[in-house]
Amino acid sequence: MEKQEPFWNFRLVPDIFVDYNEIANRIPGLRVGTQPNLGLIDQIYGETDAFTQWRERDKTPWERFTAYVHRLNARSPKNVSYKVLYLTRHGHGVHNEYMDKVGEGNWDDYWGRLDGDGVTYWVDAQLTATGIQQACELARFWETVALEQKIPLPEMIYTSPLARCLHTTELMFFDAFQKTGRRFAPLVKEGLRERLTDHTCDKRGTLTWINQAYPGFLIEDGFSEEDRLWSPFLSETTEEHVARKQRVLEEIFQRDPNNIIALTVHAYAIGAILRACGAEEFVVREGSTIALLVRGERPPLGRYDVMYY
């Protein structure tokens, strides 16, 4: 894979959300789940004089934060952008269940390279009943808790093309969008898929299948009918995966004017996004959502003859 120098520089804005790494480190092996209020720290942003505090006191933490993000973008140079990212790990998949059954070592060394065991199949692994329940719990969050706390729905949704992410996205957001009268039209992006390994669960379905199974989803330009990325003979390095997520973030920050973005992805994909933002990785529990505020900065356009796309 040809190395491409980053065009944007990304970093997490600190002291906005809870310390996810601290949560993950409390107990060895703990995975971070969806936090109360999506982990947002309750605070007043900017000036803290008595009048400001009085004016802001009746607003929810998310109302104050959303207004703060809008102010940041309004006051920033044109080459700087702030976006709130909702990162969701798909619900429990068939491949997760089988790995739990046979053990991680046996899965990595043998079973993960097969299509299935003759009864269970995990090529482009589907959600299990547990995974469906997890996604439905997230749907209840967006339909009830988010409304009460004034947590805004994403203005744009992006998803990995793997079946477990497509299904999670539909279950999680469809009803909330319908009830608010908004069009539900997630965009499927190839670059959001999990780190590519020789495991068949990382191989995606065809474009035809995605269109038939999820007709309301949009497909990015250049999306091929067959999976051209997966190979039983090659695996992506961590550095290659981080570079792929860097490019996805660059595309989103370059092209999408929205402030609040949702990404339905995978465990290693979330880790790669964190690394692309210069942050330490942690593991997110299946069927859970975390929120981040990301600052993106690109060099002034005058330094380049051609805009990057």
- Give the pLDDT confidence score for residue 300 in this predicted structure: 77
Q: Does the pLDDT value for residue 128 go beyond 80? A: yes
- Secondary structure (3-state) at 70: helix
* Confidence at 299, pLDDT banded by 50, 70, 90: confident
User: Please, what is the average pLDDT of the chain?
Assistant: 92
User: What's the rounded mean pLDDT across residues 103-112?
Assistant: 95
Q: Does the pLDDT value for residue 32 go beyond 90? A: yes
Q: In total, how many domains does the chain have? A: 1
Q: Is 239 a catalytic residue?
A: no
Residue 55 lies in a domain: yes
* Confidence at 195, pLDDT banded by 50, 70, 90: very high
Residue 140: partners with Cβ closer than 8 Å, 6 or more residues away: none
> Rounded to whole angstroms, how far apart are CA atoms 40 and 62?
7
> Rounded to whole angstroms, how far apart are CA atoms 293 and 296?
10
> Rounded to whole angstroms, how far apart are CA atoms 141 and 226?
35
∠ CA 225-276-241, nearest 5°, is 40
Which one from 90, 167, 199, 241 is the annotated catalytic residue?
A: 90
Which one from 190, 194, 250, 286 is the annotated catalytic residue?
A: 194
Residue 98 lies in a domain: no
Q: Nearest to residue 37, comparing CAs of 60, 12, 7? A: 60
- Give the pLDDT confidence score for residue 26 in this predicted structure: 86
Transcribe 105-154 into DSSP letters. HHHHHTGGGSSBSSS-B-TTPPB-HHHHHHHHHHHHIIIIIHHHHTPPPP
- Give the pLDDT confidence score for residue 27 in this predicted structure: 73
Residue 211 lies in a domain: yes
∠ CA 263-36-270, nearest 5°, is 30
Q: Nearest to residue 35, comparing CAs of 138, 130, 136? A: 138
Q: Is 281 a catalytic residue?
A: no
- Give the pLDDT confidence score for residue 275 in this predicted structure: 98
- Give the pLDDT confidence score for residue 21 in this predicted structure: 93
Q: Does the pLDDT value for residue 78 go beyond 90? A: yes
Residue 183 lies in a domain: yes
Q: Percentage of the chain with pLDDT > 90?
A: 87
Query: Could you tell me the two tokens for 293?
Result: 């505020």
> Rounded to whole angstroms, how far apart are CA atoms 116 and 71?
51
Contact 159, 135 (CB under 8 A): no
CATH number of domain containing 188 = 3.40.50.1240
Domain that holds residue 238: 9-93+124-297
Residue 41 lies in a domain: yes
- Give the pLDDT confidence score for residue 58 in this predicted structure: 79
Q: Does the pLDDT value for residue 47 go beyond 80? A: no
* Confidence at 62, pLDDT banded by 50, 70, 90: very high
- Give the pLDDT confidence score for residue 268 in this predicted structure: 97
* Confidence at 217, pLDDT banded by 50, 70, 90: very high
Residue 306 lies in a domain: no
Q: For 131-188, what is each residue's pLDDT tens digit?
A: 999 999 999 999 999 999 999 999 999 999 999 999 999 999 999 999 999 999 999 9
Q: Nearest to residue 115, comparing CAs of 196, 198, 207? A: 198
Residue 76 lies in a domain: yes
Q: 3-state DSSP helix/strand/coil percent for the chain, to nearest 5?
A: 45, 15, 40
